[in-house]
Amino acid sequence: MAYAIIKKGKMIQKKLSGIVTIIIWLLPVVYLISIYNTIPQTVPMHFGIDGKADRFGSKQELVWTVIALSAVAAGIYLLIRFLPRIDPKKTARYSAGTFKKLSFALIVFFSALQLFVIKASVSGNVAVSKLLLPIIGLFFIYLGNLMYSVKPNYFFGIRTPWTLENESTWRATHQLAGKLWLAGGLLITIVTLLLPFKIGFIVFMCIVFVIALIPVIFSYRYYKKQKKI
């Protein structure tokens, strides 16, 4: 009886999770439809490093951009969501829970990105463009949290020859990467909100370079150290 109740509860939770995911995925499209008649025929389509619009296009181009991003988001979501089933080496199944969290986070990220694109294009407001980098910073924070729980696999994580060769190296590298990405994501979010867009973008690129490079170097050094033991 208790098992049946637990099983039913998990099924309900799974359905609710799916419904929430679909709603979040559709938000940008629904928002675009609701304001479509108020969108001018020509809208900004790209912003330069100074945060100002440097390319314009038609509102039809904006629609196709949102549709394309929605399609990409759905494709990536389905791929990551079902990786444990299609992974020929069967390593992804050990991180099935992590892949579920990652796929959901990607849907949220892409929806936020599309809402940013729509809002920035419609308003042409430089201040709106400043929201993009903080959104990426928050995404790094979330990924940093996932680093602690991801098991060795060929799809997500710090996949260097040394982490894939040795489970201890994988674990130590991802513990470090988790801390770095959490701190880096927090720093990106705060700094890019406070600084002018151009300076914030430069700082953003420097932080991303550092938090990406250090785990790679660490994995090599840690692996060599383990081989000597």
Residue 32 structure tokens? 């675009």
- Residue 82, strand partner residues: none
Mean pLDDT of the chain: 82
Type and span of the H or E element at 121: helix 96-123
Q: What is the pLDDT of residue 48?
A: 66
pLDDT tier, 60 (very low <50, low <70, confident <90, very high otherwise)? confident
Encoding tokens for residue 219? Answer: 């994995």
- The percent of residues in the chain predicted with pLDDT above 90, rounded, is 28
Q: CB–CB of 107/21 below 8 Å?
A: yes
- C-beta neighbour count of 53 within 10 angstroms: 18
Average pLDDT over residues 26-31: 90
Q: Which among 148, 150, 154 is positioned nearest to 95, based on CA atoms?
A: 150
User: Which residue has tokens 């994580």?
Assistant: 157
User: Could you give the CA distance from residue 186 to residue 211 in angstroms, rounded to a whole number?
Assistant: 12
Average pLDDT over residues 24-42: 87
- The answer to whether residue 83 scores a pLDDT higher than 90 is no
Give the residue among 140, 120, 142 at the shortest CA–CA distance from 131. 120
Output the six-digit token pair for 40. 């001018």
- pLDDT recorded at residue 175: 94
CA distance 138 to 128: 16
Say if residue 103's pLDDT is above 60: yes
Confidence of residue 35 (pLDDT cuts 50, 70, 90): confident
Q: What is the rounded average pLDDT of the residues 19-48? A: 83
Q: In this predicted structure, which of 21-30, 81-90, 140-149 has the lowest mean pLDDT?
A: 81-90
pLDDT for res 3: 47
pLDDT exceeds cutoff 60 at 85: yes
For residue 2, pLDDT over 60 is answered with no
Higher pLDDT, 184 or 129: 184
Residue 74 · residue 40 · CB < 8 Å: no
Residue 150's Cβ-count burial label (10 Å; 0-12, 13-18, 19+) is buried
Tell which phi-psi region holds residue 79, choosing left (phi > 0), alpha (psi between -120 and 50) or beta.
alpha
**Helix or strand (DSSP H, E) at 9:** helix 2-35
pLDDT for res 207: 95
In the predicted structure, residue 211 carries a pLDDT above the cut 70: yes
- What amino acid is encoded at 95 in this protein? S
DSSP at 53: E
Which pLDDT belongs to residue 187? 95
Query: What's the pTM?
Result: 0.76
Q: Which of 104-108, 133-137, 153-157, 186-190 has the lowest mean pLDDT?
A: 153-157
Give residue 184's pLDDT.
95
Write out the two tokens for 25: 């995925």
Confidence band (pLDDT; 50, 70, 90) for 152? confident
Structure tokens at 149: 């729980």
Contact 171, 226 (CB under 8 A): no
pLDDT at 128: 58
